[in-house]
Amino acid sequence: MKETNDNGWLNNWMQSRGVLLWGAADIRKLCFRIGGGLEPYPGAVSWAIPMPPDIMKGLNNGPTQAYADAYSQVNVRITEIAQLLSKAIAQKGFRVYPLAASDRTDKENIRGEFPHKTAATLSGLGWVGRHCQLVTRPFGPWVRLGTVFTDMPMDYGTPLNRGYCGTCFACVHACPAGALFGKDWKPGIERKEILNAAACDRWKKEHYIQFHNGHNCGICSSVCPYGLKYLGRSQNISA
């Protein structure tokens, strides 16, 4: 019997929980195995939860307690969505594995099990900016990402194969650690060509250890024009 995709069900599921930006990524070429599974997962559901724009704009001089609190709250929401979605997909009879919202499993290389933004770019949610963060059209980089791997049949989104930062280098100039090289992103580029992760991590631990043990900064993100456009739209709506 021919399998049918579940994007209609997924769309209804996401909308009922207020998730406005989500997509499905074809990750078959990555041959990615996780959670002790013998078979790689062919697809991933990726979604973005926006951060409060007024808080993000206020990070020009570094993280704040309001940002640290919002960061934790959005991560909790992402985890809840991942768990609920995983349960719903499993009940439909498919394999599923939720990726932790923010979990550095490889401390030496400053990485998690899988980069959320890889699934996001493959699903068409956005591209990776010069600050090495996902940039979305609706919210700029002012988002946190969630990912659930599954073998449930889905209509996959169109991957992004280039960035749209143009001639803007605001994030590069704003980075206090000098950790951004200003190079354009493209699929397959190594992180080290865009970001000196060790320098970024060292600066945060030296200056912002009080915020999630030095895992928060946000300065480069706060100056992104795409984020500032989101702020402007939100202010117009609330006016």
What residues does 222 pair with on adjacent strands? Answer: none
Question: Model confidence over 49-63: pLDDT tens digits?
Answer: 999 999 999 999 999
Per-residue pLDDT for 134 more than 90?
A: yes
CA dihedral 76→106→185→63, nearest 10 degrees, is 50
Per-residue pLDDT for 109 more than 60?
A: no
Q: What is the pLDDT of residue 233?
A: 87
Q: What is the pLDDT of residue 7?
A: 81
Whole-prediction pTM: 0.91
Question: Model confidence over 20-50: pLDDT tens digits?
Answer: 999 999 999 987 777 666 689 999 999 999 9
Q: What is the pLDDT of residue 3?
A: 47
Q: What is the pLDDT of residue 165?
A: 97
